[in-house]
Amino acid sequence: MLGINLKECYKLMKMTRKTGEKVFVGLSGGVDSSVSAALLQKAGYDVTGVFIKVWQPDFIEPARLFYSGGCTWKEERLDAMRICAKLNIPFFTLDLEKEYKKEVVDYMISEYKAGRTPNPDVMCNRYVKFGGFFDWAISRGADYIATGHYARTTQVESKKLKAKGKENIKYQLLAGDDKNKDQSYFLWTLKQRELSKTLFPVGDMEKPEVRKLAEKFGLNTAKKKDSQGLCFMGKIDMKEFLKNYIKEKPGKVLNEKGEAIGIHDGVFYLTIGQRHGFKINEKTPSDAPYYIIDKNIEKNTIVVSQNKKLAKIEDEENNKVIKLKNINWTIDEMPDLSKTYSARIRYRQSLEECKIVKNKEIFELHFTNPQKAITPGQSAVIYDGEVCLGGGIIK
């Protein structure tokens, strides 16, 4: 069928596969999940495609969504259906609008109202893809689910379980091979229940390789652009979206000396490190951009600077320590706290060396170097080499 050798692509799947195992693939209408379905079918799995319908706001018109870089769910669903028709596999639509609205959208709005900057993609994975979809698939006889995430899993022995005479196999979450596309950062909330029954077929591949496979398979998504932003918003401005749920509250923009130099529409809409969303009173086209380096929820003020390196580094010692809440360890075992690990506090940030410290019931990350633009509400994700140990929400 294909003019290339796919032996390496199927190696992991063949090692764990049993004849007739059922896999429900979450098809988004994009190239990554499409190729995942094709690879699994080629490897001999009994594959079913599932399109997950999520919530979309009524105030974003379909035409406006399309021109902003997004697609309506109907368009995405149609692409997913075409993939299933091409592969001759069953197709289902799973309506998870309520779950998405509650666990992702409502959560996101409440976090912004509290002055924090949430990561909705993390919550979508936890409650929708590896929550509602996972439970639905397993309840209908699926042995596994699969997604197009750029991540990997592997099996390891647990010394703690072996010592207790129990089943000693654990599943580790690994970063994807394509470092430009690695999505393990968004998967830190997964537990053994999900990892043991999840396949990431494109996790050991690079994006150009995935697109070439899509062309070889004759999939209509081969040249489709990657989605941008939140799945229901495309590239539509977050502030514009939040205005429908959080009332504007004009406030002052301060410089580093505490002098008022501009105005903004509400501190709720703004994030540390951001360079838009506020107005400077006297600014010429030749001026360097201003960056938000601090914000005060109670006073409804922000502090800006033309030196973005100043973002939250006034007290270097304190910015070496980050407190976390809602901790999850993907292997269900606390890491060795005597070791040095690495972590990132935002997606695509370079990994930074740190220690994990447990202070009573609170976990802290003690970094070797001060961290810039620490943003409460974002995820801090911890790694041991390429192994994603887990993470937490920055307090």
Least confident of 43-57, 70-84, 302-316: 302-316
Tokens of 154: 């592997």
Taking only the tens place, the pLDDT of each residue in 189-242 is: 999 999 999 999 999 999 999 999 999 999 999 999 887 656 555 556 777 888
Q: Which two tokens stand for residue 213?
A: 């496979």
Span 348-382, pLDDT tens digits:
999 999 999 998 889 999 999 999 888 899 999 99
pLDDT digits (tens, 9 = 90+) for 60-116: 555 444 444 455 788 899 999 999 999 999 999 999 999 999 999 999 999 999 889
Q: What was the pLDDT predicted at 319?
A: 87
Residue 224 lies in a domain: no
Q: Does residue 254 share a domain with residue 118?
A: no
In a domain, 278, yes or no: yes
pLDDT of residue 13: 52
| β partners of residue 354 | 341, 367
How much of the chain exceeds pLDDT 70, in percent?
Answer: 85
Quote the tokens at residue 27: 């098809």
> Going by DSSP bridges, is the β-strand pair 379-384/387-394 parallel, antiparallel, or unpaired?
antiparallel
Domain holding 255, by residue range, is: 247-310
Task: State the Cα–Cα distance between residues 128 and 56, nearest whole angstrom.
Answer: 14
Query: Does some domain include residue 236?
Result: no
Q: Are 236 and 71 in contact (CB under 8 A)?
A: no
Find the CATH number of the domain harbouring 92.
3.40.50.620
Contact yes or no for 36/151 (Cβ under 8 A): no
Nearest to 302 by CA among 275, 264, 248: 264
Count structural domains, the chain.
3
Catalytic residue numbers, as ranges: 124, 231
Strand order, beta sheet including 260-264: 278-280, 260-264, 251-254, 301-305, 291-296
Instruction: Give yes or no: residues 11 and 70 share one domain.
Output: yes
